[in-house]
Structure 1
Amino acid sequence: MESKTSTYLRARFREYYLTASMDAPPGMEAREWGFIFYDTPGMRRHRSFRSRKELVDYIRSTVPAHVYHSAAYYLKPDAPTMKEKIWKGADLIFDLDADHLAEYRGSGIRDFREMLERVKGETMKLLEFLLSDFGFDERMISVAFSGGRGYHIHVRDKSVLKLRSDARREIVDYLTGRGLDPERFIHKIGVDGDAGVERARSLRGPASDAPGWGGRINKAIESMVMHLRELDDEEALRLLKNVKGIGKQKARLFLSQIREENAIKSIRAGNLDFFKHASGIWNLIIPYIMEETVRALGGETDEPVTADVHRLIRFPESLHGGTGLRVTSLSINSLHAFDPLKDAVVFGDDPVHVEIIRPTTLELMGERFDLLEGKTELPEYAAVFLLARGFAEVG
């Protein structure tokens, strides 16, 4: 038997679904669909629909709390086992969630806005990798606010359709900077000179216009050098000595050379051999810079989601049963201005009587609610959110 809270939420969800547009994803008839309901444990899956109308009619008649579809395409999407479904390919998907960020694991709704802004930043960072490093056409990428604590990215390019799990993990490794080898980015090359090519060797790193991680590392080297040049000697030496293996003598030598007039120009060209004894010092500094660069610029995503070629993911324009917020489709250009705590809210402000069972602070639709245990009256959009999150019950 449903609780009063579940009955109320189902009624509000039904009201939304009666008018929601709910555009179907490409190839919807080849996808598996799954549903979670307020009154039934577990997921009802292995469903398929031949048309958008059939899907929408099902959602409107059953009013699920959560709606999912597979990233994969199958010959028989409604078959009861994966083997019987016959896999034909899958979109490349990325799940960016606050739970993947160490500082927000287990945090409540007090930090919701800050949390979502941080995840949006990670989403935009990952999109830059997909567009610039992988060269995907922007038209082949779609973004969606998950309705919860993050964002989903779908890549529907033909080049990724048949990729198996291992290949998808390699993509995640690249995006996150996992396993980057400093020797790929700093090396010696033979140069012509009086000593002959074999004996005269020059130290090289990536140039500023190098693609991918190389260009990012070059900019990080330049940024570090520019920062050191702006500091006084004492502070710059202290910073350099933080790099493992660099003592006071090496730090002084490095500092004196990077302050030369042509140092920045040389770095931008990928020439790291502009002062004596460069190799030994750069071999210590580059791994340090790479570690900091990966930490700052590497993407954050849930590897198991991307690697799972049978994964179900939330259906855009459905409602998230744990928040009442809409899973919202976005263009890459609209992502920056998107405010999930306003733009994903679909319910009105009619007053609703609820009982707060867990004290909390909530911000929605530009309003802040500081709530203590006990009965209170809230606008519908705030009531739905707190009821769905388990912070309140119908009064």
Structure 2
Amino acid sequence: MQETDIQFLENSFKKYYFDHFNKIKVPERTSEREFGYQKFNSGMTRHITISNDKELHLMLMNNIPSDVYCSNGYYTFPNLPMNEKDWKEADLIFDIDAKDLNLSCRNNHTITICTNCKKISNSLSQCTECNSSKLEKKSLPCKNCINASKKEVEKLIDVLTNDLAISQENIQVYFSGNEGFHVYAYDLIFQKLGPRERSDLTDYILFKGIIPETFGIRKFKSDKKSFPNFNEKGWRGRFSTYIFGSKSKRPKILTEIFANGYSFFQKTLDDAAENIGVKIDPNVTVDIHRIFRLPGSINSKSG
């Protein structure tokens, strides 16, 4: 990036943080968090301790970062290296991104930049200038991308409130500034969870790893009475609504399900996960040491 471009961007970012600092979500228990930032044409600076909103504002004005981050984790010593921080707990955060939704519109607003000759093209496999396969993809989300991400957020909130009993008031949704949303679920019970427990939780939300026995389908002696009805809570009810469509179709489809057997129903469950599972990024949620974009801050990839 040219020096004049960097100067223009830094002036614009500084003005934003001077005029609109009230839009920044200053995290609770600020002094227990790790902060980090990245400057234009520069690497990441991490392991920063900030005590309050005034110190945060000062950091933004002095350093003018292109991107600023805050940890989901709470530490005794947030400024020390990771193995010395003394982790206490971490907020439960979910990431929903349009790039993970397999949307057909993506090809219409995705270009590639050849890392070899810098040629910009629509080719997604090979540079049209030098035939290099070393391509960097760039995409700007369209309205369809954002709307699809919003639908996934709605599905996630349904699971969080109805299945996990997290109060709606304790759920905050922030636009990531690029292609999706970060969903924060503030609940003391879930803050104590480690990576393994969070992995189990993401599997549940993704509707991943579901076995036929959950629905009364067994390799031997399946039980029709155990198959879920429309009014059941949780994934059993959601799956029932998805697979039957309406109550009038239930008897016929149920007969077909039991006639097709165990293996066929397992495939049906796997296919259903792609359609009704919430498309969160599991790697984000299980990471208890991750730093997230500070809500309200500017994403340098926007625009």
CA deviation vs aligned residue, 1:80-133 (integer Å, no higher than 9, x gap):
x11211000000111111222233489354652221221121122111111111
Q: Which of the residues 191, 213, 227 maps onto 1:205? A: 227
Contact 1:130 1:136 in 2 (8 A): yes
Return the letter of the residue paired with 2:99. Answer: D
Return the letter of the residue paired with 1:158. Answer: L
Q: Flag the 1:138–1:72 CA change in 2: closer, same or farther, 3 A.
A: same
**Match of residue 157 from structure 1:** 187
Distance 1:175 1:204 in 2: 22
Is residue 2:247 matched to residue 1:217?
A: no
Is residue 2:259 matched to residue 1:280?
A: yes
Distance 2:44 2:159 in 1: 34
**Match of residue 46 from structure 1:** 47
Distance 2:180 2:197 in 1: 24
Return the letter of the residue paired with 1:119. Answer: S
Is residue 2:27 matched to residue 1:25?
A: yes
Gaps of 5+ in 1: 189-198, 229-256, 259-266, 324-384, 386-395
Gaps of 5+ in 2: 111-137
Q: TM-score, normalised by structure 2?
A: 0.80
Distance 1:170 1:97 in 2: 21
CA deviation vs aligned residue, 1:328-361 (integer Å, no higher than 9, x gap):
xxxxxxxxxxxxxxxxxxxxxxxxxxxxxxxxxx
Q: How many residues align?
A: 268
Distance 1:110 1:305 in 2: 22
Contact 2:230 2:247 in 1 (8 A): no
Is residue 2:285 matched to residue 1:306?
A: yes
SS at match of 1:148: coil
SS at match of 1:102: coil
Return the letter of the residue paired with 1:322. Answer: K
Q: What is the deviation of 1:221?
A: 3.5
**Structure with greater Cα Rg:** 1
Q: What is the deviation of 1:289?
A: 4.3
Q: Flag the 1:207–1:45 CA change in 2: closer, same or farther, 3 A.
A: same
Higher RCO (CA-CA < 8 Å; seq separation 6+): 2
Q: Aligned ranges for residues 220-259 of structure 1 at < 5 Å?
A: 220-223=242-245, 226=248, 258=252
% identical equivalent positions: 29
Q: Flag the 1:23–1:173 CA change in 2: closer, same or farther, 3 A.
A: closer
**Match of residue 339 from structure 1:** none
Distance 1:124 1:203 in 2: 31
CA deviation vs aligned residue, 1:145-188 (integer Å, no higher than 9, x gap):
00011100111200011111011111111111111001111258
Q: Flag the 1:202–1:212 CA change in 2: closer, same or farther, 3 A.
A: closer
**Match of residue 66 from structure 2:** 65
**Match of residue 3 from structure 1:** 3
SS at match of 1:93: strand
Q: What is the deviation of 1:202?
A: 5.7
Q: Which of the residues 278, 293, 311 maps onto 2:272? A: 293
